[in-house]
């Protein structure tokens, strides 16, 4: 089991879904600056190409491909064609969509439900399904699921509304905890955690959000680079490098 990681990520591969924009792109930039080979995965090829060009222009090792993460067959096919992605040391599931503002439970159409759950929950499950087994074989890896405090069963999670979004993120939290338990809470070399970036200035968060995308990505980068020893806690929800209640 590999436990010692350093913040020098040379020779590490990081797959970042939603890496073409917003918080995912900010995380990819930071990991690229630490030496990681980053692989961006997003829905639109144009969006991926533009982000890859930006990162390589900054001197970082970057590539990427487009796939609808909600489609399990396409995810399996594209990842199996990309050895770098398949062998990721770090998987950051940042891809996501917000639900319609009017999406109270009784006003949510089946189409809207599937759109949001598909991208946010199925997408997270689909990438873990293809990359997770390779991490288990190597007994080494980091899985970081970008959740949201709107998905908690406490604090900001209690306001109602945005039903598919909140429920998708609650389910991502449940997936995180379940998988971490199945993997022995880090004893098999793999850390699995969820995090809340907090309201950040991105296409999703809007221009008036209090945090920059880079600030929103800070805890992702910390989770991707922290050391792993007997005391390391995993299978948790993190915000600003602190554990927060589910």
Ligand X SMILES: NC(=O)c1ccc[n+]([C@@H]2O[C@H](COP(=O)([O-])OP(=O)(O)OC[C@H]3O[C@@H](n4cnc5c(N)ncnc54)[C@H](OP(=O)(O)O)[C@@H]3O)[C@@H](O)[C@H]2O)c1
Residues classed as catalytic: 165
Dihedral sign from CA coordinates of 169, 175, 176, 181 = positive
User: Residue 42 interacts with ligand X (CB under 6 A)?
Assistant: yes
SS (H, E, C) 154-204: CHHHHCCCCHHHHHHHHHHHHHHHHHHHHCHHHCCCEEEEEECCCCECCCC
Cβ-contact 193, 236 below 8 angstroms: yes
User: Residue 200 interacts with ligand X (CB under 6 A)?
Assistant: yes
Member of 203, 210, 233, 240 binding ligand X (CB under 6 A): 203
User: Residue 177 interacts with ligand X (CB under 6 A)?
Assistant: no
Member of 9, 13, 24, 236 binding ligand X (CB under 6 A): 24
Pairing state between β 90-93 and 13-17: parallel
User: Site map for ligand X, 65-104, x if CB under 6 A?
Assistant: ---xxx-----------------------xxxx-------
User: Residue 157 interacts with ligand X (CB under 6 A)?
Assistant: no
User: Residue 21 interacts with ligand X (CB under 6 A)?
Assistant: yes
| Residue 167 to residue 103: CA distance in whole angstroms | 11
Nearest approach in angstroms of CB 62 to ligand X is 14
User: Residue 205 interacts with ligand X (CB under 6 A)?
Assistant: yes
Beta bridge partners of residue 146, listed in sequence order: 195
Residues near ligand X, by CB under 6 A: 18, 20-24, 42-44, 47, 68-70, 94-97, 119, 123, 146, 148, 197, 199-200, 202-205, 209
């Amino acid at each position: 089991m590999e436990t010692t990681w350093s913040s020098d990520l040379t020779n590490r591969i990081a797959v970042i879904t939603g890496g073409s924009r917003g918080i995912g792109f900010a995380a990819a930039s930071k990991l690229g600056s630490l030496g990681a080979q980053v692989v961006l995965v997003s829905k639109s090829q144009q969006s991926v190409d533009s982000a890859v060009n930006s990162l390589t222009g900054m001197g970082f090792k970057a590539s990427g491909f487009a796939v609808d993460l909600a489609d399990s067959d396409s995810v399996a096919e594209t990842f199996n064609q990309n050895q770098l992605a398949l062998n990721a040391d770090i998987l950051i599931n940042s891809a996501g969509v917000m639900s319609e503002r009017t999406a109270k439970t009784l006003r949510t159409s089946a189409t809207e439900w599937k759109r949001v759950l598909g991208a946010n929950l199925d997408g997270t499950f689909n990438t873990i399904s293809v990359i997770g087994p390779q991490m288990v074989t190597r007994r080494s890896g980091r899985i970081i699921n970008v959740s949201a405090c709107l998905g908690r069963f406490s604090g900001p999670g209690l306001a109602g509304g945005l039903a598919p979004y909140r429920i998708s993120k609650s389910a991502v939290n449940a997936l995180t905890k379940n998988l971490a338990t199945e993997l022995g809470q880090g004893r098999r070399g793999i850390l699995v955690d969820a995090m809340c970036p907090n309201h950040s200035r991105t296409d999703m968060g809007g221009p008036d959000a209090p945090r920059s995308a880079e600030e929103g990505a800070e805890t992702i980068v910390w989770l991707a680079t922290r050391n792993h020893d007997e005391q390391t806690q995993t299978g948790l929800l993190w915000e600003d490098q602190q554990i927060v209640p589910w």
